Structures are given as structure tokens and as C-alpha cells.
Amino acid sequence: MKRNILITGGAGFIGSHVVRLFVNKYPDYRIVNLDKLTYAGNLANLKDIEDRPNYLFERADICDFDRVREIMRKYEIDGVIHLAAESHVDRSIKDPFTFARTNVLGTLSLLQAAREYWNGDWEGKLFYHISTDEVYGALELTNPEGVEPPFTTTASSSEHHLAYGRDFFYEDTKYNPHSPYSASKASSDHFVRAFHDTYGMPTIVTNCSNNYGPYQFPEKLIPLFINNIRHGRPLPVYGKGENVRDWLYVEDHARAIDLIFHKGRVADTYNIGGFNEWKNIDLIKVIIRTVDRLLGNAEGTSEHLITYVTDRAGHDLRYAIDSSKLQRELGWEPSLQFEEGIEKTVRWYLDNQAWMDNITSGDYERYYDEMYRNR
Ligand code: NAD
Ligand code: TYD
């Protein structure tokens, strides 16, 4: 079957993996990548597929309603996979307006453009919105039956896994966002569901845990720390490093998006996560060990770089996603164990230093500004 799919934010971290997967797997689909190329968007993330006949790129802002409408019409879009967003919590604390603009108004602009273009003919159409587990708020580090966390549980998945608390985020967990980032994502999720409930638009929302892997912008914990270790720079650990995050390899998220786009139930919500909770400081020690080993340094060489710094304002204590609905209903499961995923990730960043250096020097931004100035 032929399809014309608009992927927004395809030049970013997760978006580039989704674009790559769809372009490679579905030669009959036309994949249109709409991206503004903010500081986080980088076309070098898509070098390997940029010449494919089923791939097109449009530099546009999702907030530019007329442009989005024109792109929907021009490519006869029948499916939208919406990833474009401002995505970094620390930036949202400094500049919440940009987050409200892109994440809330930008999503509304896309929804409204799709509604106008599809004009009530919903057959074969889908608006799929990618969201985060952060909308659910923060979980406690609880201590059931006097057992010190972490403890193993089978309560939420078929496998035993380490957990730092009794509770998990489920699809019906009440939204309770704390950061401007998560508040803006929560708001956009509500708009997507409102477009289904009010106009009948076929929509799906998924909420995923923290992703890691190649092409992540080095302001996020894992690529930042790998790069800092390589340069012998301090590793700024917020607070005591006690916060817990639930990590998923980015290609497993992309596979889940593919599955849900094709087989997911319209108007439904799916949580995506790998039952893989880590306390930041433990994760950081794994990263240090892996980088040191791959660089040929003696074990423990870079431990002294750990530097405890002032905590992030409103820092959510624990995220833990229950993705058993997705596993049960659509048969998805993560393909990688965390140790393999981290090894692969560290290797990728060490092998692709030119990619990292290009970003940290700011060269790529100047290049795109020049290239697109008169378009
Ligand atoms: P990212 O910051 O790496 O990439 C965002 C992309 O969106 C960039 O290419 C950027 O240029 C583009 N963009 C930003 N503003 C735009 C605008 N106004 N118009 C058009 N394009 C714009 O983000 P990411 O980590 O890949 O996250 C992608 C999506 O997944 C986001 O919606 C995020 O909320 C969600 N998510 C991320 C994670 C994670 O761990 N990174 C986890 C769960 C959900
Ligand atoms: P991050 O990668 O920013 O993702 P998120 O805030 O969306 O979970 O941060 C992951 C965790 O690492 C989070 O608890 C904050 C912490 N952190 C640090 O301790 N130091 C850092 O320099 C960064 C960027 C994050």
C-alpha cells in the first residue's frame, strides 16, 4: 500500500531513527520530514538515507500554520507522526515560552492543518503524537515490606526487573507535570485527544520513557557525559545523583512507533518503556567504566570527574513506565539488554567524534542558516 507520511522533528534524535526506519522498511511510502532545524535538528543525522527516492525534507516551523497546510496538500499527507518539540527540561526552566509556543501551539497548528486537509474524511488517516512519561509527574522511592529499594518485581511485566518503588506510570495515571517541558507536553497531549473527541480525528498518543542511543544532542545526560569523559571534563551530577530514570534504546522506541502506527487502536494511548530503572549515579558509573574500557584506560580512571552540583529546580525523583499493555496487545518488547545498549551507544559516540565535534563547535547551525537563508 502507498502512503504519504509526514514525520515532524525528523532531524532530531528520535525522529531521525523513525525516519530511517520508515524510509528503509517502506520503499512504497513517501516519507516527508518536516523540521525547523533548531539547535537540536541536524541533517547529518540522516546522511545515509537523504538521497533515497522515497524521502523528502521540508524546512518549516510547525507553528507556521500556512506552511504546514501547504505541505499537507502538496504531498497529500494521510498520516502524521509528530515528534517535533523542544525537549530539554533544563532549557524549559530558563525559557518556558519557547516550549509553550512549539509544543502547544505548534501541535495545535499541525492538528488544525490536518483537520482542514482531511476535511472529515477520516478513512485511512492517522495523527500519531509522540509524548513522554514525564507528563505523569514523579514517583516516590517507596520501600515495600521493609525492603530497601531497588528490589525485583514481576508485578508489571513478564520479566523480573529492578524497581525503585511500588508504583509505575500506567496509561490511566493522572497527569501531574512539574516542569515547563512536561507541562507543555501534557497540554499538547490534551489537544490531540480533544481533536479526537470533538472532531472525530483518528489519533493515537504514546508516552515513552527516557531514550538513549546514537544521534542524541549532547545536552542530555548520556551523550554529554560520554563526551566530557573523552575530554577529561567534569561530570555535573545534579543533587545527590539519587534520581531514577527508566531507559530505553532509541531503536526500540522507533520499532514501537512503527508497530503502533500500523496496528495501534485509534483513540488509544500506549506507554513505551523497557522496565529498566537506573539511579543516575549508578548509570553514570556504568558509563564511566564503559568509556574508560573502550578508550583503553585503567578501570576507575575517570571516576574523579564526578562533580556534584546544585540540583535541578523541581527535579522529578523517579520515572518508571509500565509498558505491559503494549507488550500484551501488540507483542512489542525491547530488543536490547541495557548493558548491550550502553556498549553500542558509547562505541557509537567514540567512533563518531566528528559528529560530536561538529555539534559542540556550533558549525552545523551556521551551515544550515546559510543554506536555507533565501528559501
Ligand atoms: P530533539 O530535541 O532531539 O529533536 C527535536 C526536533 O524537533 C529537532 O530536529 C528540532 O529541529 C525539531 N523542532 C523543534 N522545534 C520545531 C518547530 N517549531 N518546528 C519544526 N521542528 C521543530 O528531541 P527528541 O529527544 O528526539 O524527542 C522527540 C520527541 O519525542 C519529542 O516530542 C519529545 O517530547 C519526545 N520524547 C523524547 C524522549 C527522550 O528521551 N528524548 C522520551 C519520550 C518522548
Ligand atoms: P536528561 O537527560 O536531561 O533527561 P530528563 O531530565 O528528561 O530525564 O537527564 C536525565 C537525568 O540526569 C535527570 O535526572 C537529570 C540528570 N542530569 C544530571 O545529573 N546532570 C546533567 O548534566 C544532566 C544533563 C542531567
Q: What pLDDT is attached to residue 166?
A: 82
Q: What is the rounded distance in angstroms from the CA atom of residue 119 to the CA atom of residue 126?
A: 13
Q: What pLDDT is attached to residue 17?
A: 98
CA of 131 to the centre of ligand 1 (A): 10
The verdict on the CB of residue 83 being under 6 Å from ligand 1 is yes
Nearest ligand 1 atom, CA 41: 9
Which H/E stretch holds residue 290?
Answer: helix 280-295
| pLDDT tens, the chain, 375 aa long | 899 999 999 999 999 999 999 999 999 999 999 999 999 999 999 999 999 999 999 999 999 999 999 999 999 999 999 999 999 999 999 999 999 999 999 999 999 999 999 999 999 999 999 999 999 999 988 776 767 778 777 655 556 678 898 889 999 999 999 999 999 999 999 999 999 999 999 999 999 999 999 999 999 999 999 999 999 999 999 999 999 999 999 999 999 999 999 999 999 999 999 899 999 999 999 999 999 999 999 999 999 999 999 999 999 999 999 999 999 999 999 999 899 999 999 999 999 999 999 998 876 666 556 656 544
Which H/E stretch holds residue 181?
Answer: helix 180-199
Q: What pLDDT is attached to residue 370?
A: 65
In one letter, which amino acid is 186?
A: A
- Grid cell digits, residue 81: 507522526
Residue from 93, 245, 253, 287 to probe ligand 2 pocket by mutation (most atoms less than 8 Å from CB): 245
Q: What pLDDT is attached to residue 153?
A: 74
Q: What pLDDT is attached to residue 51?
A: 98
Catalytic entry in 78, 133, 251, 316: 133
Closest ligand, as measured to the CA of 132? 1
Residue from 221, 240, 305, 311 to probe ligand 2 pocket by mutation (most atoms less than 8 Å from CB): 221
Q: What pLDDT is attached to residue 375?
A: 46
Question: Ligand 2 — pocket residues by CB below 6 A?
Answer: 89, 210, 220-221, 224, 236-238, 243, 245, 280, 312
Active site residue 319: no
